[in-house]
Structure 1
Amino acid sequence: MAFNSVIRRACKSFLPLAIRTVGSPRTFHRAISTVLSVENHTNLQKFLPFSHFSTAVTGQKPTADENLIRVLETEIECVEEPHDVENIPNEFPFKIEDNPGERTISLNRKFQDETIKIEVDMPNVTEEEEDDDDDNAKESDASSIPLVVSITKGSGQSMEFGITAFSDEITIDSLSIKNPESSDELAYEGPDFNDLDENLQNAFYKYLEIRGIKPSTTNVLFDYMANKDNKEYLLWLKNLKNFVEK
């Protein structure tokens, strides 16, 4: 029985060739006879491996891959086309460095003898509780942008701020001094910023403001980062589709 099964598989692999040779389905039985006669003159050991593997089967794209590609194509079509050029005001004091494929951007500027660099991450959206009895209740979603501000002197020493930027204010979350010759792991980073004297806190906000780090500046970043998020998502979808198609 096993040998007969092998012969049947072998015949199936030759049938298309035989049909093309005879030129008509009506000569099908004669084609079968022709194929079977090959068995008497062919080395069976060389014949069997060829009949076992079919390029028609192994070359087919899996259905799951095709479905995934179609869904990715649909999602790509639905994504809003990002803007090519963002509206950056002329008075914006920083130069923007934006690398495709990265989730952050960098802002850079010189101020007197200082080099100021800001790393801007993607916006965070947090849900706020609404008070149904309050006519002036806040919206349920509040967006904020995390910033890391580094102000470096010519000596290489820098002051680093962890900041959260909202639409109408910025808050300082952390503050530390970085020395190029010391290990960050051993550095004392100071107390929690909110534990500092209120006058000292206000002085640091003013310190940042005169260097261009204030709500009127960071508000520009909300639209910019929202558009970047859209760009990165669209690029990510296209990269996925290219990978699956290969």
Structure 2
Amino acid sequence: MSSASLAAGLLRRAACSSEVYALSQRCAPVSLARFRASAAAASPPSRTTSRRFLASQSPVAPSEICPDENLKRLIGNEIDRVFLPAEASAKLIELPEDFPFEIIDNPGDQAIVLKRELAGERVKAIIYTNFDTDEDVNNDDSHAENHIDSFKPVIQMVVTFERPEGLVLEFVCNFKDKELAIENMRMLNRSSVDAKYAYEGPQFSVLKESIRKSLHGYLEVRGIKDSLHDWLHEYMMCKDEREYVVWLKKMRDFLQK
């Protein structure tokens, strides 16, 4: 990995860690059996603490510390930086009003699943967070600060509607400025042996505007709508921070053996 790519990744992570703590302050317990017990909230980190890992990137002479020990030190610093915000984000997230879905959130997975049944139709939405960005991080400090403050990950989802006879309607969506956008869609037939060769339909963008609007309405009445954005963003940021801490601890344990 190049130094520019590493710096970009650290900036993204610092931006997300800072936002996760702010989001976690609005978390509240939900009395549903499928949710895990809440963890105790931690005190907010200072601005200096939230940049601790970035500040630790000062050059170290090769003669002063070996690469393995330097990596252990950096991992330890990063765990210290994100552990308290992640503890706070482990609190349960208040559900939106009239939330119709069951949430499947398996530790270790980067995605969550929303499921429900409606009038004999099985609805499943796989939600994940895209932290990739095409923007390069400039070495200028003021530019880096602006990048941290403005960076927002993209919430993406693959939504499927399955009928008992085996027909499946699939949408690939994301949120753009809190508005749900359909990237593409296709019709599948689970029972067809030659499904991979079947005609799945045209690109969503070439459909008539009236059909595109009606398909948005189809999603909305089944609970896949714009108003999910804020809750999903909050939930996925908190999940990412928890998973990141677990990953760091596994890395630390590996290096110590």
TM-score by length of 1: 0.65
Is the CA contact (8 Å cut-off) linking 1:161 and 1:172 kept in structure 2? Answer: yes
Task: State the shift of 1:242 in Å.
Answer: 0.7
TM-superposition CA deviations, 1:100-132 (whole Å, max 9, x none): 11111111011111110000111446579xxxx
Is the CA contact (8 Å cut-off) linking 2:178 and 2:229 kept in structure 1? Answer: no
Match of 1:81 in 2: 86
Aligned residue among 215, 228, 236 for 2:247: 236
Are 2:184 and 1:177 equivalent residues in the alignment?
no
Match of 2:170 in 1: 160
User: Aligned-residue CA RMSD in angstroms?
Assistant: 2.3
Are 2:156 and 1:146 equivalent residues in the alignment?
yes
Task: State the shift of 1:144 in Å.
Answer: 2.5
Are 2:73 and 1:70 equivalent residues in the alignment?
yes
Aligned residues: 175
2 CA distance for matches of 1:76 and 1:143? 22
Gapped regions of structure 1 (runs ≥ 5): 1-61, 129-138
2 CA distance for matches of 1:127 and 1:88? 32
| Larger relative contact order (CA 8 Å, sep ≥ 6) | 2
Larger Rg, first or second structure (1 or 2): 1
Q: Aligned ranges for residues 1-150 of structure 1 at < 5 Å?
A: 64-79=67-82, 80-82=85-87, 83-84=89-90, 85-124=92-131, 126=133, 141=151, 143-150=153-160
Question: What percentage of aligned pairs have identical amino acids?
Answer: 36
2 CA distance for matches of 1:210 and 1:157? 19
TM-superposition CA deviations, 1:69-95 (whole Å, max 9, x none): 232111100013242222223522111
Match of 2:199 in 1: 188
Match of 1:206 in 2: 217
1 CA distance for matches of 2:252 and 2:190? 44
1 CA distance for matches of 2:77 and 2:151? 28
2 CA distance for matches of 1:175 and 1:64? 48
Opposite residue 171 of structure 1, the aligned amino acid is A
TM-score by length of 2: 0.62
Provide closer, same or farther for how the CA distance between residues 229 and 196 of structure 1 changes in structure 2, counting only shifts above 3 A: same
Name whichever of 79-88 and 146-155 sits farther off.
79-88
